[in-house]
Amino acid sequence: MKMTGSDYKKTLDEAEIGDKFEIKGPYGHFLLDESKDAVMIAGGIGITPFRCMARYATAKHLPTKITILYSNKTPSDIAFKDELDELEKKNNNLNVTHTITRAEGDEWKGRTGRIDACMIESVPYWKNAVFYVCGPGAMVNSMASSLAEIGIPKDKIKKEIFGGY
């Protein structure tokens, strides 16, 4: 695990074998609305809640359409790629699009560049979807602004900042 100085990571780093922790949750508003199609925008490890939502939707055979737009710096930074690919094969309502911002050489054959309005508007049902955005703070705030600029109402944008990594 990458230790970056957050309180959570410091506590884990200082823990000793046999230490016990109490974990509560989940709490909050960042939960899948099964009644509405979804566009999930992830940066880096911000994919974590979307992986769980995709697993849930696949296991429950939900009719909810889910598109995940997932940005990373390099192909080796893509977390859970194999699992996401498997879920996409099992779930006809799930589409995962990877994009890389620092593609080098001929290694990457997929999309490149940051997630932008064009990529969002390529999702057939984007105008009626609920948007979930998760990742580093700057990315989440930038994407929320971009969504507002293309006419997505604030109440259809759910945000979660993954800091400290």
Model-level pTM?
0.84
Q: What is the pLDDT of residue 5?
A: 65
CA distance 33 to 29: 10
pLDDT by position in tens, the chain (length 165): 455 567 777 887 888 999 888 877 666 778 999 999 999 999 999 999 999 999 999 999 999 999 999 999 999 999 999 999 999 999 999 999 999 999 777 788 889 999 999 999 999 999 999 999 999 999 999 999 999 999 999 999 999 998 755
**CA angle, residues 53, 57, 43, in degrees to nearest 5:** 30
In the DSSP assignment, the letter for residue 43 is E
Contacts 24+ apart (CB under 8 A), 141-144: 143/41, 143/115
